[in-house]
Structure 1
Amino acid sequence: MIHVTERDEVAVITIARPEKLNALTNAMRTDLAAAVREHGKSARGIVVTGTGRAFSAGEDLYEAVGKSLVTEVETFHDMTRAVLETRVPVVAAVNGLAVGGAAEWTLCFDSRIGTEAAGYFWPENHLGLSISNASSYLLPRLVGARALRLVLDSTRMTAEQAHAMGLLDELVAAEALLDAAVARVRHWTAPGTATATHLALLRPPLEEVERAFGAETAAAVEVEESGLAQAGMSRFVNRT
């Protein structure tokens, strides 16, 4: 369900579970973190995209019902940690809707390029869940005070809205998406560039991200122990 190909010395990681809108199981999240770590050592850069109508529907709530929310959240955290530990550019090619933890994961990427079909959706608040991926730190870093409303409103944004807010850096035609993402990586890693140095200088500091992880894990404990999380996931999987 995670495919990796090479395109012009760039690793393209594709989330390939279109029949479930690329919803991420625990195993898939572990595989994504591992793929980023592996190919971050050998490729010029990494592009992550989805298949079908979605970039990813985020956490597979059907799998998560009855399981520890803390364990689920921590696998998302490790996906973000893997990206920020690389020394190469990581670009999201957002082909469709990015939801919840998947949307949050892209916030740590060095660039997010989308198509008109792209979108962002943070449903956690109205499901009784808590946000993850250090998005409590990364989302305000990108959009400022608007982050609070995006989360509390469980906002679903179009590609145009996400672009206007700075969540998407560029909009391109669907057929040009992967070419644009790969070209971005290659431009940033042309011979003679000091990209690895500048990634280390300009990416979110890992110590701040780890602090956010700790706060978000504590938040996951809170909503889990209150019963909000399991009730919300049950409502979702049993909806008619």
Structure 2
Amino acid sequence: MNEHVTRDVAEFIDGLGFILTVDGTRPLHELTASVTSVCARAEYDGGRSVVVLRLRSAPPDRSWPGRVRIGEVNRWERAVRRVERLAAVTVAAPEGVCGGPALDLLLATDFRVASPDFRLLLPVNDEHFWPGMAVHRLVDQLGVAQARRLVLWGHEITADQAVALGLVNEIGHDLEEALHAAVVMLGRLSGAEVAVRRRLILEASATPYEEAIGTHLAACDRELRRLDRDEESATWS
């Protein structure tokens, strides 16, 4: 793999996965390149390793993404979508104020461990709300009523509230230890299996039953075939 693909990505503790620290104050094109790098590394690895995103504080003034062109926004949204569709299990570790790029990535990951000082704040520019795909994901994950509270009125969400809402899985009072435990637990899962489960979840709210059943039956068939292979292997062993 080319060196430029891996320069922003470090190996996680004990070689259990890859870790990328996302600094929300960096320019949009740099953030896009970093996220693309970790996705490329995970894809090169075949989805066998856990991808950890350390999400550092958003800009203190909540502005996002700054004065950029729509093409840059499109490339960023594609990078976040790539995270959402990785075969690898993804873990987010947001610290401090979570908004802008940190919020986008948080909502695209599978498992979320927040620091005790976590606060979710939606991004604004000159008091105008930024209408990115975080809105879409918030509605999908929280429902219209809770998303309305955040999007229309700009309410802040604390770590405890985020856990209660299901936006965060747990609070890591010792974030390093909590991350390590999460990666060990999630690393046992097959990347391909996680990708199938995630796809079924993401498509469920927007796909009619008649269209969804084919995908679910295909997933059931793969699982039945796996069980048959395991039983056959046990018989011959």
Do the structures match in fold with TM over 0.5?
A: yes
Q: How does 1:54-133 map to 2 (within 5 A)?
A: 54=57, 56-57=58-59, 61=63, 64-65=66-67, 67-68=68-69, 70-124=70-124, 127-132=127-132
Q: Distance in 1 between matches of 2:127 and 2:73?
A: 15
Moved over 4 A (4+): 58-63
Task: Decide whether aligned partners of structure 1 residues 61 and 141 sit closer, same or farther in structure 2, where only a CA change above 3 A counts.
Answer: closer
Amino acid at match of 2:100: G
Task: Decide whether aligned partners of structure 1 residues 101 and 58 sit closer, same or farther in structure 2, where only a CA change above 3 A counts.
Answer: farther
Q: Distance in 2 between matches of 1:59 and 1:105?
A: 19
Identity %: 21
| RMSD after superposition | 3.0
Amino acid at match of 1:108: A
- CA positional deviation for 1:158: 1.4
Q: Distance in 1 between matches of 2:71 and 2:196?
A: 29
CA deviation profile, 1:23-53 (whole Å, cap 9, x unmatched)? 13123222222222222132611111145xx
Report what 1:37 is aligned to: 39
SS at match of 1:107: helix
Report what 1:202 is aligned to: 198
Task: Decide whether aligned partners of structure 1 residues 59 and 195 sit closer, same or farther in structure 2, where only a CA change above 3 A counts.
Answer: farther
Gaps in structure 2 of 5+ consecutive residues: 1-6, 207-237
Q: Distance in 1 between matches of 2:61 and 2:77?
A: 12
Of structures 1 and 2, the one with the larger relative CO (CA 8 A, separation 6+) is: 1
Q: Distance in 2 between matches of 1:119 and 1:30?
A: 23
Gaps in structure 1 of 5+ consecutive residues: 209-240
Q: Distance in 2 between matches of 1:50 and 1:201?
A: 25
Q: Distance in 2 between matches of 1:160 and 1:149?
A: 17
Report what 1:144 is aligned to: 143
TM-score, normalization: structure 1? Answer: 0.68
Match for residue 53 of structure 2 among 48, 54, 72: 48
TM-score, normalization: structure 2? Answer: 0.69
Q: Greater CA radius of gyration, 1 or 2?
A: 2
- CA positional deviation for 1:80: 1.4
- CA positional deviation for 1:88: 0.7
Q: Distance in 2 between matches of 1:61 and 1:149?
A: 20
Give the count of matched residue pairs.
192
